[in-house]
């Protein structure tokens, strides 16, 4: 086999490997988005009931009697962390910075009566 053929085959293998590795990431991103969209109505309900709130790091926290909400909150926060990690990787920022920016945006659009946490750590109802 000539050196040129080896380089071509090596390049082709590398291209196929990168393509293969990028497919699961795209599928994972779509499934995260779908899971978050599916949870959104229940999360909005819990927020309006004062059971969960948005902390200053971009994650949900249980604020009231939310016995059945723990699994939902954990799943949502795990997916949010994945999203924040992806954004941080693209922007060169930290996951913490991305989460704090998300928290600030969510505070702006929060509905009346929802629990929010100020950057200082103090909780309040909008």
Q: What is the pLDDT along the chain (126 residues), one digit of tens a residue?
A: 555 444 444 433 444 443 444 444 554 556 899 999 999 999 999 999 999 999 999 999 999 776 689 999 999 999 999 999 999 999 999 999 999 999 999 999 999 999 999 999 999 999
Q: How far apart are CA 53 and CA 71, in angstroms?
A: 15
What is the predicted pLDDT for the residue at 2? 54
Indicate the domain borders of the chain: 3-125
Q: Model-level pTM?
A: 0.75
What is the predicted pLDDT for the residue at 64? 76
What is the predicted pLDDT for the residue at 23? 43
What is the predicted pLDDT for the residue at 62? 95
């Amino acid at each position: 086999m000539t050196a040129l053929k080896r380089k071509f085959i090596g390049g082709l293998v590398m291209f196929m490997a990168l393509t293969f590795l990028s497919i699961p990431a795209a599928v994972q991103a779509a499934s995260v988005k779908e899971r978050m969209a599916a949870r959104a109505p229940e999360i909005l309900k819990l927020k309006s009931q004062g059971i969960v709130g948005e902390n200053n790091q971009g994650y949900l926290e249980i604020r009231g009697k939310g016995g059945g909400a723990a699994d939902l909150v954990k799943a949502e926060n795990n997916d949010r962390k994945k999203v924040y990690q992806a954004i941080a990787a693209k922007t060169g920022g930290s996951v913490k910075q991305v989460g704090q920016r998300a928290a600030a945006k969510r505070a702006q659009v929060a509905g009346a009566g929802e629990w929010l946490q100020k950057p200082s750590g103090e909780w309040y109802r909008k």
